[in-house]
Amino acid sequence: MVGNKMTQREVVITGMGVITPIGLDVKTLTESLRAGKTGLGPITSFDPAPYPFKSAYEVKGFDARHHGLQALDPFIQYAVAAAHQAVEDARFDSGSVDPFTIGVSVSSSKGGMHTIDRFKDRLLRNPSAILGARVYSSSVPNFAAQWIARRWKVQGASKCYVAACATGTVAVIEGARMVSDGMVDYCIAGASDASIVPLMLAGYKQMGVLDPDVLRPFDKRRKGFLVGEGAGIVFLETEETARARGARIYGKILGHAYGNNATVSMVRYDDSEDSIARTVTGAVRSAGLDMTDIDYVNLHATGTKSGDLYETRQIKKAFGASAGKIPMSAIKSMTGHMLGASGAVEIIVSLIAMNEGFFPPTATLEQPDAECDLDYVAGKSRPGRIDTALTLSSGFGGHIAALTLGKA
């Protein structure tokens, strides 16, 4: 576990943008969180009749033509659209500053799965260079960052970290580090994923982590997750530039930590390792806070039998006696598992909750597991003050990332 405080320059969030199954902008997402709305529905992006999976959390009502991106893979479309919202929300004019002072830290855990699924048979039948280039340019995870950089004329540092389902959280942390270290003054950061295709769903089904019905974190009936899609992007800058511009500040990045669980299994953590507990503790300590200072925790919570139980035990170990007193949420109960985009969207959800004064719900938690006995804000949102929040992400293969947020 490595924990770090942003010590060199204070980093704040001044813009947010989302494309999710429960809202195509921050305003709609906020309304859905308050209402405990879920985005679950029948799969429409392909014919699910031949397959054992019928439902997912799809993005609905999104028009890529509005952004001139209809020829690109959806993961790029979602990323650019969310970035547009974030930059606009920050009221940032990229043309008014040196382009080398703007950075990008945007990624995807999977890249262009729709493109691969769409063209794989055609490419096998006719392996032309032109078709190969089209597939390549819309499938590699870093191409979302490239399109964002192109659109806003970004010439500063560009990073693309892939950390499975922790990708979005890692992207925001590394974007904040770029600003804190003085590499850039501004950074567009986050992640996007669009993987509701037969190949990916079949893989998760084979792994035994796909629920056939509903994603129910911490519920005794849980059997796994269902896949969601979308993007979350934040605009990061120094507190100094934000104050000078008169920008609205949604929150400050206080600290972070990374960890890894050295399990031999791809899909479950080793119960003998305290990887999550130590990472969470590191993220809080690196912010100069005590564990009792945290007002809200956004959990990774994918609805797998072993994962939710392990996460609960690790949170108890990290927070001790105060664990049961802290409201916590499993946002995937509403958005589905947005894979690499999850962490970025959940950071935004934490900022929404902090600024709007409510705890988002674990909407589908109806029959609690006796061993999962923390305050998961079951069923409905509730009002409450949040001054400091912690958001946690994990990924298949052992990746762990935690980020501490506070009011500016």
What is the rounded CA–CA span in Å between residue 393 and residue 215? 17
pLDDT score recorded for residue 130: 73
Confirm whether 67 is a catalytic residue.
no
Q: What is the pLDDT of residues 127-159, one digit of tens each?
A: 777 777 777 788 899 999 999 999 999 999 999
Collapsing DSSP to helix, strand or coil, 239 comes out as helix
Query: Phi-psi region for residue 247, left (φ > 0), alpha (ψ -120 to 50) or beta?
Result: beta
Phi, psi torsion values for 187, nearest 5 degrees: -150, 135
The crossing angle, in degrees rounded to 10, of helices 113-125 and 129-137 is 170
Confirm whether 160 is a catalytic residue.
no
What is the rounded CA–CA span in Å between residue 21 and residue 77? 15
What is the rounded CA–CA span in Å between residue 205 and residue 28? 31
Confirm whether 372 is a catalytic residue.
no
pLDDT score recorded for residue 249: 98
Q: Which of 165, 256, 372, 399 is catalytic?
A: 165
pLDDT score recorded for residue 117: 87
What is the rounded CA–CA span in Å between residue 281 and residue 261? 15
pLDDT score recorded for residue 125: 76
Listed in order, strand segments (DSSP E) in 138-229 are: 158-159, 186-193
Residue the block writes with tokens 């830290």:
105
pLDDT score recorded for residue 1: 44
Report CA-CA distances (Å) from 59 to 24, 41, 191, 203, 206.
8, 10, 15, 21, 24
What is the rounded CA–CA span in Å between residue 253 and residue 8? 12
Amino acid identity for residue 370 in this structure: A
Q: Which of 67, 114, 256, 337 is catalytic?
A: 337
Amino acid identity for residue 102 in this structure: I
Contact 396, 165 (CB under 8 A): yes
What is the rounded CA–CA span in Å between residue 161 and residue 164? 9
Q: Which of 187, 300, 372, 399 is catalytic?
A: 300
Q: Which helix (H) or strand (E) holds 173?
A: helix 167-180
Phi, psi torsion values for 352, nearest 5 degrees: -60, -50
**What number of H helices and E strands is found in the chain?**
12, 15
CA 389 to chain centre: 15
Interacting residues of 217 by C-beta distance below 8 A, sequence separation 6+: 299, 301, 302, 303, 308, 330, 332, 333, 362, 364, 365, 376
What is the rounded CA–CA span in Å between residue 30 and residue 67? 23
Task: Classify the C-alpha dihedral 238-239-245-247 as positive or negative.
Answer: positive
pLDDT score recorded for residue 7: 53
Interacting residues of 291 by C-beta distance below 8 A, sequence separation 6+: 281, 284, 318, 319, 320, 322
Residues in the chain, pLDDT under 70? 1-7, 264, 266-267
Report CA-CA distances (Å) from 195 to 226, 286, 304, 317, 375.
11, 34, 19, 34, 31
Report CA-CA distances (Å) from 315 to 265, 291, 323, 376, 391.
21, 11, 7, 12, 12
402 burial level (CB within 10 Å; 0-12, 13-18, 19+): buried
Here the tokens at position 158 are 């560009």
Taking only Cα atoms into account, the Rg of the chain, rounded to an integer number of angstroms, comes to 20
DSSP 231: E
What is the rounded CA–CA span in Å between residue 254 and residue 323? 20
- In 181-331, which residue ranges form alpha helices assigned H by DSSP? 198-207, 239-245, 275-286, 305-319
213 burial level (CB within 10 Å; 0-12, 13-18, 19+): middle
- In 320-368, which residue ranges form alpha helices assigned H by DSSP? 332-335, 342-356
Contact 266, 31 (CB under 8 A): no
What is the rounded CA–CA span in Å between residue 185 and residue 370? 48
Whole-model pTM: value is 0.95
Residue the block writes with tokens 């925790």:
297
